[in-house]
């Protein structure tokens, strides 16, 4: 994994934002159109939204590094790493549908692709093992990002994720002895305790999504 290059790309976009303020203008325009389920602090809604997007982008290399580390420990790195490389590829060589999106605004699209891919991987692990590959819950943060990006473009990004995962991490990927041994370790008290230290990403980044019961 070349997450150092991902971090460099993020740093360059942050420098671009200082001079362009493109993301700030984009988010200011979104404030009036945000879905009422997205709960922003009353005292500084624009600042909270900007901080969320910046942190959402910055979390990508951290999430990828954590996923690789867990996969290595579980003995399933060979199965997982090619999938995570796709998330890295989204950042370093984004698909053509993102052409024209620059700076942090463009990286929001790329971060959404990467986080959604990890979310899909987690869903497959939950289906087969009863636990995610990594315990960080990105679902609500991804829903917020989806709202910010807007439809139909966010739906096109979702389709890109599904297309990238086609044929990968099938049932056979979870039949390896190393995966079954990992399933047993997931139930260990130390693992459960460690998992609880990983919060919901949207809460960690200071935004709430009020979902209907």
Find, among 132, 149, 111, the residue nearest to 27 by Cα: 149
Residue 212 pLDDT > 50, yes or no? no
Highest-confidence range of 61-75, 111-125, 178-192, by mean pLDDT? Answer: 111-125
State mean pLDDT over 30-53: 80
Residue 198 pLDDT > 50, yes or no? yes
* pLDDT given at position 211: 44
Cα-flanking dihedrals φ and ψ of residue 12, to 5°? -65, -40
Inter-residue long-range contacts of 67-71, CB under 8 Å, 24+ positions, other chains counted? 67/118, 67/121, 67/133, 67/134, 68/1, 70/133, 70/134, 71/133
State mean pLDDT over 159-187: 76
Measured between alpha carbons, how far is 117 from 160 in angstroms, rounded to an integer? 9
Q: Which residues, 6+ apart, have CB-to-CB distance to 32 below 8 Å?
A: none
Average pLDDT score over the chain: 79
Highest-confidence range of 92-106, 116-130, 141-155, 163-177, by mean pLDDT? Answer: 141-155
Better-predicted residue by pLDDT, 179 or 62: 62
* pLDDT given at position 79: 76
- In the chain, the percentage of residues whose pLDDT exceeds 70 is 83
75-93, pLDDT tens digit by residue? 777 777 888 888 888 888 8
Other beta carbons less than 10 A from residue 36's beta carbon: 6
Better-predicted residue by pLDDT, 134 or 18: 18
State mean pLDDT over 25-30: 85
* pLDDT given at position 197: 53
Better-predicted residue by pLDDT, 187 or 65: 65
* pLDDT given at position 63: 85
Residue 15 pLDDT > 60, yes or no? yes
State mean pLDDT over 153-173: 83
Determine if the pTM surpasses 0.75: yes
């Amino acid at each position: 994994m070349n997450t150092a290059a991902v971090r460099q790309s993020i740093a360059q976009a942050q420098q671009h934002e200082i001079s362009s303020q493109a993301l700030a203008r984009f988010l200011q325009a979104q404030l009036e159109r945000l879905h009422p389920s997205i709960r922003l602090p009353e005292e500084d809604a624009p600042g909270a939204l900007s901080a969320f997007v910046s942190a959402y982008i910055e979390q990508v290399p951290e999430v990828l590094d954590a996923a690789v580390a867990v996969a290595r420990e579980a003995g399933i790195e060979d199965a997982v790493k090619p999938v995570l490389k796709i998330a890295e590829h989204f950042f370093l060589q984004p698909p053509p549908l993102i052409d024209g999106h620059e700076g942090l605004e463009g990286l929001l699209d790329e971060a959404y692709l990467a986080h959604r891919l990890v979310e899909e991987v987690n869903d497959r692990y939950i289906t087969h093992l009863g636990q995610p590959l990594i315990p960080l819950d990105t679902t609500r943060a991804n829903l917020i990002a989806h709202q910010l990006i807007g439809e139909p473009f966010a739906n096109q990004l979702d389709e890109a994720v599904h297309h990238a995962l086609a044929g990968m991490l099938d049932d056979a990927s979870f039949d390896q002895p190393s995966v079954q041994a990992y399933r047993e370790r997931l139930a260990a008290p130390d693992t459960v305790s460690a998992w609880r230290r990983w919060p919901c990403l949207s809460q960690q980044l200071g935004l709430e999504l009020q979902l209907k019961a």
